[in-house]
A and B are shown apart, each in its own frame.
Chain A
Amino acid sequence: MRFLSDTWVIFIRSMRLSLRNVVWLVIGISQPLLYLALFGPLLKRIVGLHGFPPGNSWQVFTPGLLVQLGIFGALFVGFNLIGELRAGVIERMRVTPASRMALLAGRILRDVVVLAVQSTILLVAAFAFGLRAPIGGVILAVILVTAVGAAFAAGSYAVALRTRTEEGMASVTNSLAVPLLLLSGILLPMSLAPGWLRLIADANPVKHIVDALRALFLGHVATETVGIGVLCGAGLIVAGLAFGTRTFQRESE
């Protein structure tokens, strides 16, 4: 009960401050739209290529963008926390009896809501560009991305608490994000990759999530691909939340 009310207070506070930051709002919404408008058309040309997965180019590309938005966007939310750490806000809140988990959960809830709104905007725009996909699959895809995004947000906050500087945070997130991104087949599907590259990519849980999303966009819900993706997502969620709460609960740092 205490946890829920504290989470709510932190959620409302974080949301209020996010909405006040107009630049951040515009960037957050316009970036996926730019990808759709400026990168999407390129994909149309290579749909016929050997190894390109089934479906039209938007059914392949939009799931990738969802992951880009949800997972890699969430990796960077920790930068907000560094600002709050520097302003002494976190310290002030940690001296209250508020649940330590709530201090984290309220912020993640904000990120999840923002993510869901951004995903919806992205999907509506993609539909206008020519995406056709079964609605049920799309909804499941958004749920999966948002859940994994929450885990990445938790991890990002934990990294922020441990590094405490933008520089430290940037080096950790970038060294993590770039290989994960390149090996996930977000922009171009991994089915186009040579054998050795595909092998490495198979070790990347994000790649399986992307595959699962593409299957969901084709309406292939009860498939092995989706099962593996959900399992990878669940693993990431457990790991991210454990790392996040452990770091937030530590009395010392």
Chain B
Amino acid sequence: MIKARGLTKSYRTRTGTVEAVKGVDIDVDAGEIVAFLGPNGAGKTTTQRMLTTLLAPTAGTAIVAGHDLRADPVRVRRRIGYVPQGGSTSAEATVGEELVDHGRLYGLSKAQSQRRGRRLIAEIELEGTWERQTRTLSGGQRRRLDIALGLVNEPPLLFMDEPSSGLDPQARANLWRHIRALREDRGVTVFLTTHYLDEADALCDRVFVIDHGEIVARGTPAELKREVSGDAVSLRLRDLDDVAAAIAVLAAIPHSTLTRSDGDMLDFGLPDASLALPEVFAALERAGVGLAGIEVHRPTLDDVFLSLTGRALRDDPVPTAA
């Protein structure tokens, strides 16, 4: 559905040329939900704006929804939908007006456009809002309207830029449900950008991690997490005197690495805690080491990002809807 090679965007500024996107390759198959994950300014939005014909690439080629991005942008536009970041509607316009006008820009007749708009409104659970001005909608409703607008031309491929930013947790969960339904019910391929790890994790089949304009990793969320050095386990010992014995036991467990020892707390890494922990418990018991508590931390995409880039992906607290 998307095949991009060496996609590059550079800007000339007063101080020289800035490479916002440095030759990325992207392959997305039909029916996938794929996330572009990275911090603000990593080049996610720039890449997406190139793929949606909004920005001409400096170099590189791309076939998007079956058409060449450079040679035939108009055909690409016919076959894609786009949900911009931060909304796409006029506050004073009504839901129905926006949908009908948008459909007509795709060459639909007024009647066709109305039929399609009404059906989309029902599908995305905005019934009864047709006559309402968009400013009277809640943040979550407005975002769903943005999606409906992106689907007016019934595209096989939908781009979404930071779909859940600015939504409260409930509205996010609801939005995710709708995005999954797009694939299930309509077979739509979804390509979204996000800087929320939980979003990429919960929603996407595959993730491209982008940083400083380069794709630094790609794979399913599970694959990416596996690349990070396994699970982290914290043990709290019942008796401070057992620390040395416990360290000796852990050293004998294959592939375990002690990362921290602090008072009665021991942190260590295991490739797969679910398989190795029974053996750890048994060995500790044989050595007479009693446990007061245990905590297992499975890696998140946050850890993936940290291990790939050496930096934490700033994960803003989810803001509440305005």
Contact = CB atoms under 8 A, between A and B. Distances in A.
> Are A and B subunits of one complex?
yes
Interface of A: 2, 5-6, 9, 12-13, 16-17, 20-21, 84, 87-89, 91-98, 251-252
Nearest to A86: B86
A84 B90 contact: yes
Interface of B: 52-56, 73-74, 77-78, 80-82, 84-93, 97, 101-102, 104-107, 146, 149, 153
Contacts of A93: 102, 105
Given A88-B86, A88-B88, A89-B89, 7 more contacts: A2-B107, A12-B101, A17-B90, A17-B92, A87-B90, A93-B105, A251-B54
A17 B53 CA distance: 27
B160 to A, nearest CB: 12
Contacts of A2: 107
Nearest to B52: A95
Nearest to B155: A95
Nearest to B113: A9
A91 B88 contact: yes
B52 to A, nearest CB: 5
B89 A87 contact: yes
B86 A96 contact: no
- Centre residue among B55, B81, B84, B89 by max chain A CB count within 10 A: B84
Contacts of B88: 87-89, 91-92
Contact of B105 (A17, A91, A96, A251): A96
Nearest to B87: A88
Nearest to A18: B92
Given A6-B105, A13-B97, A95 B89 contact: no
Contacts of A20: 92
A91 B81 CA distance: 12
A87 B78 CA distance: 22
B92 A9 contact: no
Main SS at interface, chain B: loop
A12 B80 CA distance: 25
B106 A97 contact: yes
Nearest to A91: B84
Contact of A91 (B54, B73, B78, B80): B54
A5 B103 CA distance: 12
A252 B54 CA distance: 6
Given A17-B93, A21-B92, A87-B90, A94 B102 contact: no
Contact of B77 (A5, A88, A96): A96
Contact of B80 (A16, A88, A95, A252): A95
- Which of B53, B90, B92, B97 has most A Cβ within 10 Å? B90
26 contacts: A9-B101, A13-B97, A13-B101, A16-B97, A17-B93, A21-B92, A87-B88, A87-B89, A88-B84, A88-B85, A88-B86, A88-B87, A89-B90, A91-B54, A91-B84, A92-B88, A92-B89, A94-B53, A95-B54, A96-B77, A96-B106, A97-B74, A97-B78, A98-B105, A251-B54, A252-B56
Contacts of B92: 17, 20-21
Contacts of B78: 97
B55 A92 contact: no
Contacts of A251: 53-56, 73
A87 B134 CA distance: 11
B156 to A, nearest CB: 15
A193 B52 CA distance: 55
Nearest to A92: B88
Contacts of B106: 96-98
A13 B52 contact: no
B105 A9 contact: yes
A92 B86 contact: no
B149 A92 contact: yes
B93 A13 contact: yes
A96 B99 CA distance: 13
Nearest to B56: A251
A8 B102 CA distance: 13
A197 to B, nearest CB: 38
A21 B87 CA distance: 21
Smallest CB-CB A-B distances: 8 pairs: A92-B88, A251-B56, A88-B88, A98-B105, A95-B82, A96-B105, A88-B84, A97-B77
A12 B110 CA distance: 13
Contact of B91 (A6, A87, A94, A252): A87
A78 to B, nearest CB: 16
B99 to A, nearest CB: 12
Contacts of A12: 101
Contacts of B93: 13, 16-17
Q: Which of A12, A84, A89 has the most CB of B within 10 A?
A: A89
Contacts of B74: 97
Given A17-B93, A92-B82, A97-B107, A87 B87 contact: yes
B133 to A, nearest CB: 9
